[in-house]
Structure formats: C-alpha cells, structure tokens
Amino acid sequence: MKKVALITGVTGQDGSYLAELLLQKGYEVHGIKRRASSFNTDRIDHLYQDPHESNHSFTLHYGDLTDSSNLIRIIQQVQPDEIYNLGAMSHVAVSFESPEYTADADGMGALRILEAIRILGLEKKTRFYQASTSELYGLVQEIPQKETTPFYPRSPYAVAKMYAYWITVNYREAYGIYACNGILFNHESPLRGETFVTRKITRAISRIALGLQDCLYLGNMSALRDWGHARDYVEMQWLMLQQDKPEDFVIATGVQYSVRQFVEFAAQELGISLAWSGEGADEIGTVSEVTGKEAKCKVGDVIVKVDPRYYRPTEVETLLGDPTKAKEKLGWVPKTSLKELVAEMVQADFTSAKRDALVKLAGFQTFDHHE
Ligand code: NDP
Ligand code: GDR
C-alpha cells in the first residue's frame, strides 16, 4: 500500500522539493493550492501528472488555510498518513503590513488542520508536521539557538508561528497526535521566492552583470543568518515523521554569514569584486575588480545601495542554529555549503537573465518584476 501525504503550501519553495522527494519515495502525494487569477504552479509543473491517467500519484486540490470546512473536506477525502503544513504568508516584512491575515493563515491555519484530524477521528492514523521557524528566537536569548532556547518573536509572522508551534505541542500532549515542529533556519534555493533577500540578490547581481539593471537596493546588510539548502531541509521534514516518537527539532547548518557577505559571494560567482564604503543608510557597494568574461559592469560602478524602505520595524539581527539533536537522533547533516548554494542560485538566475538579454537584443521588450 502506498503511503498518502497531504502538503499545504505545495506551490511554494519547500512544497515543490518535498512533493518531489515524496514522489521519489513512492508516496501518493496530494497538495493544496490556492486559487489565483494567474497560473501559480510554476514550481511544481515538472511534477504534473495527468489526472485522467488511472495510476497518477500527484493530485492538487483547491483550498486555503483560512477555510476550515475546505480543510476538513480535503482531509476526509484524502485520509492522509502524513500532513505537512508548509502553507503560510511566509514573508516577515509583509507580515507587518498584513498582521491579521498572517495570524489567521499562519497561526489559526495549524489549529484548523489539527482540529480536522480530531474531528475526523484520525488521531492515531495521521502524522502532522508543522513548519516552525528560527524567527521564533527573534531577539536571541542564547547563541547558538537550540530546541531549549527561549522564544522572543519580533514580527507578526513570528508571533503567529509561535501560536502554531505551541498548538502543535498541545495537541500532541492532549490528544496523542503524532505532531512535531521542525524549527527550520533560513533555507534557500533557485526556487526561493524572489523577494527574500538571497534570491533578490542572486537575481539582481545576475541582471546587473549583464547590463539589464543598474543597482541592487537592500535594507539591513549587517543581519546575520544561518542559510542552508531547501533540498537538504525537506529531507528532515520527512525524517521527523518517520520516528517512533514525535519530537521537535532545530534544523540548521551551524554556520552564520551576513547579508553583505552573501552579496559578495554572489558577485564573486560572476567574477565581480566589491568594495564597501559608508555606513547604515549611506552604505554603498562599488565594483573594485571585474574578472568575469561575461560581466559587463565596470570598476567604479556603484551597484549596491541601502534603501531604508526595506528596514523592518523590529529586526532579527542574528540567527545561528545548533543542529546537534537532529544529527544525533536522526543522523542528519546538511549536504550543501553556503558557497555551493550561492553558486547554484547565481547560475540559475544568470541563465534566465541571459535569456532576457537575448530577447532584448532581438528587439523584443522585456519586463522585470518589482517589489
Ligand atoms: P513560500 O512562501 O515559498 O511558500 C508558501 C506556500 O504557502 C505557497 O505555496 C503559498 O501559496 C502557500 N500559502 C500562503 N498562504 C496560504 C493560505 N492562506 N492557504 C494555503 N496556502 C497558502 O515558503 P517556503 O516554501 O519557503 O516555506 C515553507 C514553510 O516553512 C512556510 O510555512 C514558512 O513560513 C516556513 N519556513 C520557511 C523557512 C525558509 O527559510 N524558507 C524557514 C522556516 C520556516 P501561493 O504559491 O499561492 O502563494
Ligand atoms: P527572513 O528572510 O526575514 O530571515 O525570513 P529574508 O530573506 O526576508 O531576510 C533576511 C534578512 O535580510 C535582511 N534584508 C532584506 N530582506 C529582504 N527580504 N529584502 C531586502 O531588501 C533586505 N535587505 C536586508 C532582512 O532585514 C533580514 O534580516 C525567512 C522566511 O523564509 C521566513 O518564512 C522564515 O521563517 C525565516 O526565513 C527563517
């Protein structure tokens, strides 16, 4: 018998990698996607299976984490062995703009699924994974952060995720549901949303190198993050649901870099070196050397500037995870270094920037997306 998994947020970065992993493992995979006015399945189109074929093992359902009747109906229909709750309004800065919606989708959404499991009498059958986050540590109380480090959330997103974290623990203890939290530190990939800082950087540097864009505007470049690869991290999401006993785990690399360093690594990938001057809102990044054959920018070009518009009302300055528990109990170690991650992201974005440059050269108009 095939195992059955249901993924919320299947159209997102992690949803795509997880669906691929579970299909490779022989699962029947169901995903919840939101209705949108344009196609929103780019990240999973390569996994599409014709629903008219009798043996298809990947099915999408329309739904939303803010709609409990819809969640109950899908879970009743699918009868999943495992639910991965990856769906969320996941952008920290945007959560300050839409705090109430963020609380509803990211906090109450987890409760709605756990209640659906209970209402449908699936407590003994269905295992539940909650996408918890290093943002829970916010104003950090201990370095590095581990499972026992106290939380201090610093955004509406993190506060909503804190509710989801504790309701997951509570339903495990109250109703014996196999439910666990993966406290995942930042993880990136070529599929990362374009407005998160890493992807914003790799896209912009690629476009600047080809003369399609002049400057990259960023917020707080001194922020420190522990960045891993999403492909490595979804393996952990699966592993956490395969244990005898449900537990919560920190997933991180244990290595920390600044946003500024990430910019430097991305530029170096294309043979561009940067020099920094100024401070805070006046900081700029100037091209100091160009060795990349395809890079069109020149020494002296200012290609990075700070725009305080990207500052957050409350910032998380430093995050560094201690993944010892995951290593000891699950035998997990991250496979991808930051340099490898940056190289993969830059290569992917440089390829699509080159396509845009060719289209432009052929006399057609191209439009970039803007925040
Ligand atoms: P993405 O933003 O790439 O994906 C989020 C997914 O959630 C998308 O499929 C989105 O749909 C969907 N979604 C948003 N709102 C709703 C809603 N109301 N109902 C149903 N689905 C919804 O995030 P990631 O893949 O990067 O992250 C996955 C999860 O892990 C998220 O919960 C995130 O908060 C959490 N997390 C992520 C980390 C990271 O570094 N990536 C670290 C720690 C935690 P649509 O495509 O339509 O927008
Ligand atoms: P984060 O990721 O807030 O850690 O949340 P993001 O990439 O948005 O920011 C990381 C750090 O970079 C700083 N920064 C900028 N960020 C963005 N987005 N845009 C900018 O221009 C910019 N300039 C500087 C930020 O201030 C911040 O310090 C991610 C999300 O995936 C969450 O869903 C997840 O829970 C956490 O990671 C772990």
CATH number of domain containing 75: 3.40.50.720
The residue out of 160, 184, 208 marking a domain boundary is 184
Domain count, the chain: 2
Shared-domain flag, residues 201 and 179 = no
Q: What is the mean pLDDT of residues 197-225?
A: 97
Shared-domain flag, residues 204 and 180 = no
Shared-domain flag, residues 354 and 206 = yes
Shared-domain flag, residues 178 and 207 = no
The bound ligand whose nearest atom lies closest to the alpha carbon of 187 is 1
**Active-site hit among 17, 84, 137, 157:** 157
For the question of residue 157 being annotated catalytic, the response is yes
Instruction: Give the whole-angstrom CA distance, residue 122 versus residue 116.
Output: 8
Instruction: Give the whole-angstrom CA distance, residue 245 versus residue 225.
Output: 30
Query: ipTM score of the complex?
Result: 0.99
Structural domain of 342: 197-224+258-316+336-362
Shared-domain flag, residues 180 and 287 = no
Q: What is the pLDDT of residue 369?
A: 80
Residue 248 in domain: no
Q: What is the pLDDT of residue 225?
A: 98
The residue out of 158, 184, 210 marking a domain boundary is 184
Residue 42 in domain: yes
Amino acid identity, residue 371?
Answer: E
Secondary structure E strands in the chain: 4-8, 28-33, 58-62, 82-85, 127-133, 179-184, 187-188, 216-218, 224-225, 228-229, 249-251, 257-258, 272-277, 284-290, 302-306
Long-range CB contacts (within 8 A, 24+) of 310-313? 310/93, 310/217, 310/218, 310/219, 310/220, 311/219, 311/220, 312/92, 312/93, 312/96, 312/155, 312/219, 312/220, 313/96
**Active-site hit among 8, 133, 168, 202:** 133
Residue 291 in domain: yes
Residue 232 in domain: no
Shared-domain flag, residues 79 and 162 = yes
What is the CB-side half-sphere exposure of residue 145 using CA atoms within 13 A? 27
Q: What is the mean pLDDT of residues 216-223?
A: 98
For residue 17 the two structure tokens come to 């990698």
Which ligand 1 atom lies nearest to the CA of residue 13? 25
Give the CA distances from residue 184 to residues 46, 181, 336, in Å, rounded to whole numbers and listed in that order: 26, 9, 15
Check pocket membership of 218 for ligand 2, CB cut-off 6 A.
yes
Confidence at 282, pLDDT banded by 50, 70, 90:
very high
Check pocket membership of 126 for ligand 2, CB cut-off 6 A.
no
Residue 17 in domain: yes
Shared-domain flag, residues 124 and 36 = yes
For residue 267 the two structure tokens come to 């530029």
Q: What is the pLDDT of residue 63?
A: 98
Residue 93 in domain: yes
Whole-number Å distance, alpha carbon 190 to ligand 2 midpoint, is: 16
Task: Reply yes or no on whether the pLDDT at 54 is more than 90.
Answer: no
Most distant CA atoms of the chain, gap in Å: 66
Shared-domain flag, residues 59 and 103 = yes
Residue 63 in domain: yes
Task: Reply yes or no on whether the pLDDT at 370 is more than 80.
Answer: no
For residue 136, the Cα-to-chain-centroid distance in whole angstroms is 15
Instruction: Give the whole-angstrom CA distance, residue 62 versus residue 74.
Output: 9
- Name all residues whose Cβ lies below 6 A of ligand 1: 8-9, 11-15, 32, 34, 36, 40, 64-66, 86-90, 105, 131, 133, 184, 186-187, 193
Shared-domain flag, residues 16 and 75 = yes
Which ligand 2 atom lies nearest to the CA of residue 197? 7
Shared-domain flag, residues 270 and 152 = no
Tell me how many degrees the CA angle 313-132-2 measures, rounded to the nearest 5.
150
Q: What is the pLDDT of residue 250?
A: 98
The residue out of 135, 152, 184 marking a domain boundary is 184
Shared-domain flag, residues 159 and 125 = yes
Q: What is the pLDDT of residue 349?
A: 98
CATH of the domain at 352: 3.90.25.10
Task: Reply yes or no on whether the pLDDT at 273 is more than 90.
Answer: yes
Residue 220 in domain: yes
Shared-domain flag, residues 11 and 34 = yes
